[in-house]
Amino acid sequence: MKIYNTLSGQKEEFQPRGKPVTMYVCGVTVYSSSHIGHAMSYIIFDTIRRYLEFRGYPVRYVQNFTDIDDKIINRANELGIPAMDLAKRYIDEFLADSDALNIRRADIYPRATEEIPKIITVISGLIEKGYAYQSGGDVYFRIKKAEGYGKLSHQSPDQMIAGVRVEGTGKEHPLDFALWKGAKPGEPSWPSPWGDGRPGWHIECSAMSLKYLGDTIDIHGGGYDLVFPHHENEIAQSESLTGSVPFVRYWLHNGLLQFGAEKMSKSLGNLVTIRELLRQHTADSLRLFVLSSHYRNPLTFSEEAIDAAERGMERIRQALTIQPETGSSQIIDAPFRQKFIEAMDDDFNTPQAVAVLFDLVREINRGCETKQNVAGARETLRELAGVLGFSLKGKSGPSLDAVPFIELLVKTREDLRKAKQWALADHLRKELAERGIIIEDTPQGSRWKQSG
């Protein structure tokens, strides 16, 4: 298995430190509803996690919440509610949205406000080692002392200064960044050796990953927009504290979701929330839309693309609900499984893996037409679709867990028809129709499909 590492700029053989594979993904800042740009990132890393487990790697997955931040404070003040109440509201909403998207829960969801003691310990350690300094009520990281600063974004400090807005006073260097921010009137704060205040954004992820996953983690993920400054600063903090032990073995960054020509973001206001999308489309359609593009590429959202993904998912669902033939000739599914693995082993090439699913769908449909046994191929399709995280639920139809029971009822209706129990057979057909299951009687026997 090979993975593209942002740090080296090339694909590398995946060799985790041991078991479990440790994986940290930067979470959302919870000041408003999450949008489908967020969904894109977490669908991608959910799929990567699922595939690693499919390949026999147990995974310990951590995803944080930034629940104290200028944006949270400002929004809470606008609404006239405590910042912690606002954060909790949107944490709960994010988790519900993730469940609706069939994104598996992280093993741990640390929150910045619950990790203040660890954050203070990390900052104190950086001060003791000379990598951080106090300036008034603030504490800053000293970037000139950090060896290799800029190695993730492949930039020099001079290039960084030209590309960012430099804020703050009392710094030794314009790029020095805040580890601790002194308290301001009316804002949430916590006691510390440097006075009341709150943590800076970058130190939160270093402290939480160190606490829950150790000094070196296997995979660190996030959107491409986090490479600099956030992930660059995480490396500087973490490796300075631990004595240059590699903080992360493989840095993975997903491309960004665009709405027209611009990145979809809360600050630009050009977003579609997860809940808005799910009112019109299935979770699987969004996942297929995302996975049909390579995770490192930018992706442009459109209603037409989501509609096309919806139709694609219906083709997969229909192939899985066709009654299997019982002929002696059986479809050989091994080549499809192998091609799927080859695609995903090549830096999680989901577009190619999705193409394999549709190749298998065509083979199943062809097999049904020629009266082959497609049962094994269907099971392979169901398994591989599950590896990519598809729930295989229609807009209002049954999950695949219900399929065996539906097929039993269809078979029972056929038996009733053969016994000339027409009234009972019609009653069963009507009951199924009321639940969105349409039966079609063909010369080859009864078939069923979801309505709509």
Domains of the chain, by residue range, sit at: 2-276, 310-395, 397-452
How does pLDDT run across 78-127, given as a tens digit for each residue? 999 999 999 999 999 999 999 999 999 999 999 999 999 999 999 999 99
Q: Provide the H-helix boundaries in 129-213.
A: 157-163, 201-213
Average pLDDT over residues 320-332: 73
How does pLDDT run across 190-227, given as a tens digit for each residue? 999 999 999 999 999 999 999 999 999 999 999 999 99
pLDDT at position 226, please?
97
Q: Which residue has the higher pLDDT, 451 or 40?
A: 40
pLDDT at position 402, please?
66
How does pLDDT run across 355-366, given as a tens digit for each residue? 999 999 999 999
- Residue 249 token pair: 């073995």
**What's the pLDDT band for 442 if we cut at 50, 70, 90?**
confident
- Is the pLDDT assigned to residue 425 strictly greater than 70? yes
What is the average pLDDT value for the chain, to the nearest integer? 91
pLDDT at position 4, please?
98
Q: How many CA atoms lie within 13 A of 423 on its CB side?
A: 0
- Residue 192: phi and psi, rounded to 5, are -155, 170
- Is the pLDDT assigned to residue 144 strictly greater than 80? yes
Average pLDDT over residues 123-152: 96
| Cis ω before 191 (30° cut-off from 0) | no
- Residue percentage of the chain with pLDDT more than 90: 75
- Is the pLDDT assigned to residue 285 strictly greater than 90? yes
What CATH architecture is 310-395? Up-down Bundle (1.20)
Which residues pair with residue 4 across a beta bridge?
11
- Is the pLDDT assigned to residue 452 strictly greater than 60? no
- Which CA distances in Å does 423 have to 431, 441, 448? 12, 16, 19
User: Cα(4)–Cα(23) distance, rounded to whole angstroms?
Assistant: 15
CATH class, 2-276 region: alpha beta
Do 2-276 and 310-395 show the same overall fold? no
Q: Which residue has the tokens 């999450």?
A: 34
